[in-house]
Amino acid sequence: LLKRDGGFVRSGYHAELDEMRALRDESRKVIAGLERSLIDETGIRSLKIRHNNVLGYYIEVTANHHALMTGSEGAKARFIHRQTMANAMRFTTTELAELETKIANAADRALAIELAAFEALTAEVVGQADAIRAGAEALAVLDVSAALALLSESEAWCRPLVDASLAFEISGGRHPVVEQALRRSGEGPFVANDCDLSPQGDARAGAIWLLTGPNMG
């Protein structure tokens, strides 16, 4: 999902966004609804809202309904004459003209609203960055602690004692990865091992040297 494509804001979050999406995706239904409203208003059952590349959207009635569209000052103010044909007359209204503009600009406006909402949310999140980071760190500690607690109980693990001495003593040591691999493969249980590399007597040096190099991690 890319920000420039939109579609990431849920319906119902922003009233104007919902309206622009409806115009963009359901313009025919919106025009049909306005047509029904005008039919009810004028009583002209044959009234149609049509579209062409010259006039855009327009209201068309038969010539014999001319008087209903222009017979009063209110009607003249409401219905703006656009074109006279041999058998029909074409009008527009302020509402229809505004609707046409909205339909033409609906996709761009919908995306602009979504991007504005995204930027506002981003700014709010950035403003709370320290609190979010602290919460994430606390959750990370809880997550690791809880996971290790479950493993220590189910696998009989214990926490080693680490101090500043040179002592290195392991009793019944097991390799977690190898032990799990043997268990999955059914090749038998892992054999625990003891390991004592602590200095002997008064010696201060350890009993092992660790040599390492490239690709020996």
Q: Which token pair is 137? A: 């760190």
User: In terms of C-beta density within 10 A (0-12 exposed, 13-18 middle, 19 or more buried), how is residue 38 classed?
Assistant: buried
Q: 25-81, pLDDT tens digit by residue? A: 888 888 999 999 999 999 999 999 998 888 989 999 999 998 888 878 888 888 999
Residue 136 has pLDDT above 70, yes or no: yes
Q: 168 and 108 in one domain?
A: no
Residue 146 lies in a domain: no
Residue 206 has pLDDT above 60, yes or no: no
* Number of structural domains the chain divides into: 2
Q: 155-196, pLDDT tens digit by residue? A: 989 889 999 888 889 999 999 999 999 999 988 889 999 988
Q: 83 and 10 in one domain?
A: yes
Identify the pLDDT of residue 207.
Answer: 59
Contact 4, 110 (CB under 8 A): no
Backbone angles phi, psi at 89, to 5 degrees: -130, 145
Residue 182 lies in a domain: yes
Residue 133 lies in a domain: no
Average pLDDT, the chain: 89
Contact 39, 47 (CB under 8 A): yes
- Which one has a higher pLDDT value, 30 or 132? 132
Q: Write out the residue range of the structural domain in which residue 33 sits.
A: 3-124
Residue 130 lies in a domain: no
Q: 189 and 93 in one domain?
A: no
Residue 143 lies in a domain: no
Identify the pLDDT of residue 161.
Answer: 93
- Which one has a higher pLDDT value, 152 or 76? 152
Residue 101 lies in a domain: yes
Q: 171 and 117 in one domain?
A: no
Q: Which pTM value belongs to this model? A: 0.47
- The model's confidence at residue 203, banded by pLDDT at 50, 70 and 90, is low
- Residue 5 has what DSSP assignment? G
Residue 51 lies in a domain: yes
Q: 117 and 167 in one domain?
A: no
Residue 90 lies in a domain: yes
Of the residues 78, 103, 124, the one at which a domain ends: 124
Q: 186 and 94 in one domain?
A: no
Distance CA(89)–CA(130), nearest Å, equals 66
What are the CA-CA distances from residue 211 to residues 37, 170, 216, 217 (Å)?
88, 21, 9, 11
